[in-house]
Amino acid sequence: MEKKRLVMVGNGMAGCRTLEELLRIAPEMYDITVFGAEPHPNYNRILLSPVLAGEMTIQDIILNDWDWYRDNGITLHTGRKIVKIDRIARKVIADDGTEAEYDRLLLATGSNPFILPVPGKDLPGVIAYRDIADTDAMIEAAATRKHAVVIGAGLLGLEAANGLALRGMQVTVVHLAPWIMERQLDKPSADMLQASLEKKGLAFLLEKQTESLIAGSDGRVSAVRFKSGETIPADLVVMAAGIRPNTTLAESAGIHCNRGIVVNDTLQTYDPKIYAVGECVNHRGIAYGLVAPLFEQAKVCANHLAQYGIGTYKGSVTSTKLKVTGIDVFSAGNFMGGPGCDDIVLHDPAGGVYKRLVLEGERLVGACLYGDTADGSWYFQLIKDGQDIHAVRDHLMFGQNHLGDVGHKGQTQAASMPDTAEVCGCNGVCKGTIVKAIKEKGLFSLDDVRKHTKASSSCGSCTGLVEQILASCVGGAYTPADSSSKPMCGCTDMNHGDVRAAIRDRHLIDIPTVQRELKWKTPNGCASCRPALNYYLISTWPHEAKDDAQSRFINERAHANIQKDGTYSVVPRMWGGLTTPDELRAIADAAEKYKVPTVKVTGGQRIDLLGVKKDDLPAMWADFAKAGMVSGHAYGKSLRTVKTCVGAEHCRFGTQLSMGLGVKLEKMLFGMYSPHKVKLAVSGCPRNCAEAGIKDVGVIGVESGYEIYVAGNGGIKTEVAQFFCKVGSDDEVMEYSGAFLQLYREEGWYLERTVHYIERVGLDYVKGKVVDDAENRKALYERLLFALQDYKDPWLERAEADAKSELGREFRTLAIKQAMKA
């Protein structure tokens, strides 16, 4: 039977959950095409705040990676916005002219942030907070700007404020209402939350109405003016004042909209061939912004797309269980009470606990919890089911574990919950579903439960409860994995250390052999384990293992950093931050020839060409090769830069020749792949202008030689490097630094920075291997040079010999061709 054509506009959580449900019940019914305006696969928008705070990365929040679309035969168009729906011809048209015909169309266009209609709203530095691009913009601004103003003290605004504060900005939260999070909290709980946030450094201005945003001399936002006449400084303004359903496309196609795309109980619009789900939808007069209702919609919509015709969506009872900047908050139902309602309140400011239960007759109709939300799921179940609580009213405030016959002493909350109790509100998963999956499928880990039930896979607030259920089902067989015993990924039960040891001890030299010998669970591995295996192989057996290009990320294969708009960033290497007129001329020529829109000096003393088209990369690198310039590896888990100050070569305070040593170090380490990126710096005197104190290896010149520091990190969480040793010569700097880096290369786990490696094994252990044991140090140094010899000699020859020699030119051209081929 010929497949029908399903086109989905929008690539967010609600739409992709609909596809997941559809593929589960009718995998062969449709050829599916998806258009997403962002250049990313489906990701968890709820977890953008941990990314902003530096607790997670973008990769950590991807829900369905590129392979998922490919494996399910889904045609995915990212970075393309649908601008027209032709309902007569039944096709959609994107902004780049791409067209796709449909038999059924699913609109999942989500919502748009509400931007206050005030003068200055379009100034540079004024942004919303809805997607990865907004998050990236805030991270970039926090690196160079001081004052941030967040307009809106709802959940999103507070999370944005917290993330910016953690990145070092002075943050003021402006809110129109009398208290923060007024839609989720009553005033007493909001006041407690505000007091806690003020202790974390946030400032609040309540009942303030923004009149305008003021531009500075550079044309960027510089201040916020209120209607009261007060003005506060602002280098960054984040609009978090609410969202509006994105109905522009639907309205342009004549689809009935009224504060959302109007749908019936089957999620069908007024056009029977067009469905809609998610934040763009108006169902029975309500537009939902929380994940759980959207996933309920997705399940019903998939049922009707599959032509089962038995599901209906009647609306959702919503709850909010959140972790606002590390503080637990829960609310559900009518938590504000009113006429005909009774309140039961526990208010303990000193203990940081507030509980308000709202009863109407003999039923619980609302709950607001602050600080202690362990019973939130139970209260929510009572509200949803409309249960008569007369028998337990006296004990209701103290939670489910204090109900006598319902639970027994020592029994966990999970053990006493009925199977019908909802555990994961985001995904609508009850305890019985989790227990059944654990028993029938033999699950023993949290990751397994997430994979089979989706419980704990969205906001993560129910993780502890899911772990309790798992522990109560499998007893002693369940042991929460710590960082050292956690498997590399779902493809294996072995951790990074075990895999590294097996590769070394069994002399394994290629990925298929590793997977066969170590009994990998999947035939080809995954995006997590393949890059790690590739690194472990080439670092353990540098001249035997073959570098597998397909196990590298796209940035490493293309020798360039992919950007959010799909173009690339190209960074030629500048040894030690030094350059020449010829190199600058080559960069300028390339920028003009390939129409590069942005040329920027990096923090690592190089020049970055931003906005390069992928098709231009091979030719651009070939042009750079002719000028004797090589890749700066700005994209790789490798040596990035060796930053230098001018040192004794020029500076009147300099005690050592920092530029010359920096160039030596960078050329020695050129081509060095490592568990994670590595940055070095050489300062010519203790004034430390090259910021050596926050590098993986920092070298500081003193009168009698050099002090070496290791395991610094200038990233999200700045870590000051630790003193390693003192040496007297350039050669010793190279030997000690090289030995340390080789030890890290041999023992570090993939994606583990030097600071985390040192935390894991201890600085004394590393000193014992490198500083105290001269024989072992020399052996490590020799292994490093041996591993890098294919990179080292030709490029040192290029720097010292005639850059226009025929031999040098031939070698460079060959190397670039090989790199691009890989």
Q: Residue 218 corresponds to which amino acid?
A: D
**Residue segments in the chain with a per-residue pLDDT below the cut of 70:** 1, 321-326, 401-416, 442, 444, 458-461, 464, 471-472, 474-486, 715-717, 790-822
Q: Where are the beta strands (DSSP E) in 57-180?
A: 62-64, 75-78, 82-86, 91-94, 99-101, 104-107, 111-113, 126-128, 147-151, 170-175
651 labelled binding-site residue: yes
pLDDT the model gives residue 801: 42
**713 DSSP assignment:** B
689 labelled binding-site residue: yes
Q: Residue 182 corresponds to which amino acid?
A: E
pLDDT the model gives residue 235: 95
pLDDT the model gives residue 90: 97
Q: Where do the H-state alpha helices sit in 702-773?
A: 730-747, 754-761, 763-770
685 labelled binding-site residue: yes
Distance CA 680, CA 710 (A): 9
pLDDT digits (tens, 9 = 90+) for 547-602: 887 777 777 777 788 777 778 888 888 888 888 999 999 999 999 999 999 999 98
Region of residue 525 (phi > 0: left; psi between -120 and 50: alpha; otherwise: beta): left
Q: Which long-range contacts (CB under 8 A, 24 or more apart) does 415-423 make?
A: 415/468, 415/472, 417/377, 417/378, 417/469, 420/381, 421/377, 421/378, 421/381, 422/377, 422/380, 422/381, 422/384, 423/377, 423/455, 423/462, 423/465, 423/466, 423/469
Distance CA 574, CA 8 (A): 46
Distance CA 404, CA 795 (A): 77
424 labelled binding-site residue: no
246-257 per-residue burial string, b: 16 or more CB within 10 A, e: under 16: bbebbeebebeb
pLDDT digits (tens, 9 = 90+) for 469-526: 886 676 544 444 444 556 787 788 788 888 999 999 999 999 999 998 988 887 778 7
570, 560 Cβ separation under 8 angstroms: yes
Q: Return the SS3 of 261.
A: strand
Distance CA 532, CA 491 (A): 12
Q: Residue 665 corresponds to which amino acid?
A: L
Distance CA 250, CA 84 (A): 9
- The tokens describing 196, both together, are 């806690």
| pTM attached to this predicted model | 0.55
What are residue 643's DSSP bridge partners?
Answer: 681
Which of 5, 214, 181, 168 shows the shortest CA–CA distance to 100?
5
Distance CA 122, CA 127 (A): 9
Q: Which long-range contacts (CB under 8 A, 24 or more apart) does 58-62 make?
A: 58/132
Distance CA 64, CA 529 (A): 17
Q: Which residues contact 386 (CB under 8 A, 6 or more apart)?
A: 363
Give residue for tokens 């090589």: 630
Longest dimension (CA), the chain: 92
Which of 451, 464, 433, 434 shows the shortest CA–CA distance to 490?
451
CA angle (29, 31, 36) in 5-degree steps: 130
Query: Which domains occur in the chain, in start order?
Result: 4-111+245-305 (3.50.50.60), 126-241 (3.50.50.60), 407-480 (1.10.10.1100), 496-552 (no CATH), 555-626 (3.90.480.10), 639-800 (3.30.413.10)
